[in-house]
Chain A
Amino acid sequence: MLLLVAFIVGFMMAFSIGANDVANSMSTAVGSRAITPRQAVMIAAILEFLGALMFGSHVVTTITKGIVKVEFMNDPREVLAGALAALVGSSMWILIATVWGMPVSTTHSIVGGMVGFGIANAGLHAINWNRMASIVISWVLSPVVGWLLAYTVFKIISYAILRKFHPAVAMKRSIPLIIFTTFFIVCLLFALKTVKAQFDRALGWSLLIAAAASVLGSILFRSIRTSGLDEYEYVEAVFKRLQIMTSCYVSFSHGANDVANAIGPVALVYWIISHGNVAQKVGVPVWLLALGGLGISTGALLLGARVMKTVGEEITQLNNSRGFCIDFSTASTVLFASVLGLPISTTHVVVGSVVGVGTARGMELVNVGVLKNILISWFATVPVSALVSAGFYLLMLQFI
């Protein structure tokens, strides 16, 4: 019964992530008209699920065992109350912040929720501060990495394609390399960190799959009609199609990182109920990741289209080469953080990547006030959601 309650709450959280956060992570692809809101929803429904399933376990483990020290999580009653309090507390804070129009991260909220539960349960020493420090550093570093990566990727595209005498010819030559790089990163990280294959084996398989994808992709890209297009229009047309691939990449990475926000506390309850404690080295069950992935996919399918349409209408001044840089940098940063088990905010990485392309003289950005709002929300989220979660924890202990 207790497990069922945790499952339902976790699924609802995953549903909410699918309905709202997926739209943010795919906003640049929808805004630059690379994909329609409906296509974005379909991509999200499949790729979020796969990302959660293939890479989700690393971040789930951090949320469950990394924040509150395991020796303070032995009483099933307290853990259940704590996990539910973390979920409900962070959801409440997200709801309040959304009403106020503050850009609050689900990831930051759930981490704050876990901290609140830990402190309310056993005081400050219950928190694994070293791990918390690495998480907080990752929150600062991830947008910076997105920024640097986007800046670099845009500069490379700029010098290798856009600034060439014949950009269309340069673009045609670059297609296989771009596809190869994307597939290689995903395959190598999956082989090394999830399958835990040996480096040589992982490298070999990744090279093989990436090469096959590259050849197949290049054949598909030949179908782009060039008649009536000037060279820059052709380049943008190619990037438009490449953005379909990076949209999948973003969706996949988002699923890998954000499934933990919903499933982390649920996994905690599951471990306590099935194993008696969380100290043992028990992996995250695949079906639990599938449940989270399914929740995100369902949320995206049922409510995501409307949200994505709104987002798409907000961002209309973004062309495809720039959108590609943002998507590629965001997805790579988020996926890399996922395999390191670091729960980061995909949306904040998107912002970092957008600023990266902007500083590389790639686009016009507006409203620096938005960046200030992110910073304020960033500082407020962890303490506030921790407080709300602690309050709920103490309240739930009276009923459970």
Chain B
Amino acid sequence: MTRFLGKLFPQESPLKLLYEHARLVEKSAEQIPVALGKFLRHEPVEDLAQLVDKLEDEADEMKVRIREVYSKLKFVYFDRVDLLLILHDQDAVIDAVDDFLKMLCIYKFDKPLPKELTDMLLELAERVQDAIKFMVESVHELLKLVESSFSPVVVGEENALTQKVESDESGTDRLSLALAKKIFSLKNVLHPVDIMYLEKLTRLLTRAADHAENVAEKVRMIAKS
């Protein structure tokens, strides 16, 4: 008989690919505080931007592979739309990180920024990186969830993790709001282009955190289903 059993199974597990995709996002997020620090010290960040650009390309390739596998799948663990939405959010995170790094390459401040402002910026960058780390952990929990046949114990762990991500994200929101206020309060100190630029950087960082939170939220919805 023809050896057709292998064709029943996916060559690559889409869930594992999704986790690998999340790891690429995490790797790119690790560059945020490093690049921001260098940028604020007026050091070049082009090499880091290139690295993230490369990671983003790899993530795009992986995204295509996941979509290809999923177009043929039946009897999946959960609605495939949910997984594709998670993928979409993960992709949005790495896009935001990539845009952030590119933004750092296109502009330079003429004079140093106030220390309070730079501290807030660096804190936001670290919080965003943490949110993305939790996102990856959450996707890893999804693998465990499947392996455990949707064990209530793992569902509980997933819930706790999502709550952590949510509280972290609301902290990020508060910080970004405070940062925006601070930026605009310096309207008589900073150049208008500096203000516009800083506001753009803040938005990109919060966008990355928002999408990371969406991933964790969707994983929780799957775990509860």
Contacts and interface: CB of A to CB of B under 8 A. Distances in A.
Interface of A: 20-21, 23-24, 27-28, 31, 94, 97-98, 101-106, 154, 157-158, 162-165, 167, 232, 236, 307, 310-311, 313-319, 345, 347, 350-351, 354-355, 358-359, 361-368, 370, 373-374
Nearest to A107: B1
A359 B5 contact: no
Nearest to B4: A103
A174 to B, nearest CB: 14
A232 B3 contact: no
Interface stretch (B9-17, B29-37, B109-117): B9-17
A354 B1 contact: no
A275 to B, nearest CB: 34
Contact of B148 (A103, A162, A367): A162
A215 B167 CA distance: 51
B67 to A, nearest CB: 13
A310 B150 CA distance: 32
Given A311-B6, A317-B9, A364 B1 contact: no
Contacts of A311: 3, 5-6
Contact of A98 (B2, B10, B72): B2
Contact of A165 (B2, B3, B73, B153): B153
Given A163-B151, A163-B153, A318 B9 contact: yes
B69 interface: yes
Contacts of A359: 75
A338 B209 CA distance: 60
- Of the four ranges (under 10, 10 to 19, 20 to 34, 35 or more), the interface on chain B belongs to 20 to 34
Interface of B: 1-16, 69, 72-77, 144, 147-153
A24 B3 contact: yes
A101 B72 CA distance: 19
A350 B1 CA distance: 13
26 contacts: A20-B3, A21-B1, A27-B5, A27-B6, A31-B6, A94-B1, A102-B2, A162-B148, A163-B149, A163-B150, A311-B3, A314-B3, A314-B5, A314-B11, A316-B11, A345-B1, A354-B9, A361-B77, A364-B13, A364-B15, A365-B9, A365-B75, A367-B7, A367-B72, A370-B4, A370-B8
Nearest to A354: B8
A28 B2 contact: no
B8 A367 contact: yes
Contacts, number: 126
A365 B1 contact: no
B3 A364 contact: no
A361 B1 CA distance: 28
Contacts of A94: 1
Given A163-B152, A318-B9, 9 more contacts: A31-B6, A154-B149, A232-B144, A314-B9, A317-B13, A317-B16, A351-B5, A364-B75, A367-B72
Q: A358, A361, A364: which has the most chain B beta carbons within 10 Å? A: A364
A358 to B, nearest CB: 3
B11 to A, nearest CB: 7
Given A158-B149, A164-B151, A97 B74 contact: no
A314 B149 contact: no
Q: A24, A165, A318, A367: which has the most chain B beta carbons within 10 Å? A: A367
Contacts of B16: 317
A266 to B, nearest CB: 21
Contacts of A154: 149
B7 A364 contact: no
Pairs A-B, 3 closest by C-beta atoms: A314-B6, A358-B75, A158-B149
A316 B15 CA distance: 14
Contacts of B152: 163
Contact of A31 (B9, B13, B144, B149): B9
A103 B144 contact: no
B73 A365 contact: yes
A373 B153 contact: no
A364 B151 CA distance: 18
A315 B12 CA distance: 9
Contacts of A316: 9, 11
B1 A366 contact: no
